[in-house]
Amino acid sequence: MMVIEAAMDDIARRIGEDPLTVRKRNFYRPGRQTTHYGQQVDQIKLLRELVEQLETSSEYWARRRAITEFNAESPIIKRGLALTPVKFGISFTAKHLNQAGALLHVYTDGSVMINHGGTEMGQGLHTKICQVVARELGLDVDEVRITATRTDKVPNTSPTAASSGADLNGQAARDACVKLKQRLFDFAHEHLYKDQGLDREEMRMEAGHLVAGHGESEQRIPWGELVQSAYLNRISLSEKGFYATPLIHYDRNVGQGRPFYYYAFGAAVAEVSVDTLSGEYQVERVDILHDVGDSLNPAIDIGQVEGGFIQGMGWLTSEELKWNEAGRLISDGPATYKIPTYGDLPPVFNVKLMEGHPNSMASIYRSKAVGEPPFMLGMAVWSALRDALASLADYAEAPRLDTPATPERVLLAAEELRSRYDSARLERGAP
């Protein structure tokens, strides 16, 4: 990703175009939507629409003009602007890891317990799984409890990685709920509504009730009463669920296949100010629009996008690894390894989720993963730093800027550009 985004910037400077224009020319489009490993990219219109929305909401072109004018008048402080998109494939590329299990128990008082194979590490996975169970059983989310992930409950768990925790475990939990619901519907049809002529296929769970029929013939049984009746009639109130991601395959020997079930998209606009005499810089504003399909929980997903972006920004700007002559890592603590902190947040930080574009694949409620894709949006900051430095060369070239782009590296890049282009101006007799 870094290599191709650098190429987009370099091409733009060479041909005198805005980098965003070059990026948009290279989007997937009808007739050119196959990856180098042979997978067809679905929802190709989504990325273009997403970027166009972000262009408008972030006022990209007006700010671009203002920044260009500012840089022409400011010899020391230079501003930079960049919009970088992301297309991120979702699935483990090791096919066997794309599976998950869940264990569902309903107790005679109507309480529900779910256990699944995903690890909660602050990303809100347990909350999303509880929401899935509550939605399937027509209950309030507060009525669903979750227990700690343990392999004596759900065995052979895959890592909670590859942004797949909610996708895999949510589907497994839903599978368990669907199986249990069908059993309860069969029981209700046979024992509770047998003489009322109600259609088994029209039964549904909603608002804490099993509902059968419509209109005047509608019948409702409270969840607790249904569960108690099922127990007294010796109907199992426990179920296991399982899910394996369909369609994916990949031949590593030839580098061809469909390693991803779907793609998540996103884009970020970053604006920076750079002191070209010291290399110090500030991220002034960030605008993000990210695609999560039909979000399972917008509040959680926005938090994931915000956190992922800041983490990615730190990876590309401050988190520098250093070793001494003996080969020992010396950037091994918070005094020497600089992760981003609250003070590094941009003063203006606008994050929105793309709406109206459910996942084209049958993911859990047509949602999309939101763990790793926003991490790559941090590239917008690195690209914006290159944009600011390019103004020292009248935007004729994008400077090399290794990552992490620490103030030291930014300063070295600025000095190298300034020395070359100042010398060239003097030779031409320019001021």
Please give the positions annotated as active site: 372
- DSSP string spanning 328-340? -B---STTTS---
C-alpha 213: how far from chain center: 41
Task: Name beta bridge partners: 219.
Answer: 212
For residue 429, give Cα distances in angstroms to 69, 424, 425.
23, 9, 6
Closest alpha carbon to 312 in 251, 275, 247, 268: 268
Whether the Cβ atoms of residue 209 and residue 194 lie closer than 8 Å to each other? no
Is residue 255 packed enough to be buried (19+ CB in 10 Å), middle (13-18) or exposed (0-12)? exposed
Task: Name beta bridge partners: 113.
Answer: 105, 145
d(CA 60, CA 54): 8
What's 246's DSSP letter? -
Given the structure tokens 């590094």, which residue do they identify? Answer: 344
368's tokens: 């999309």
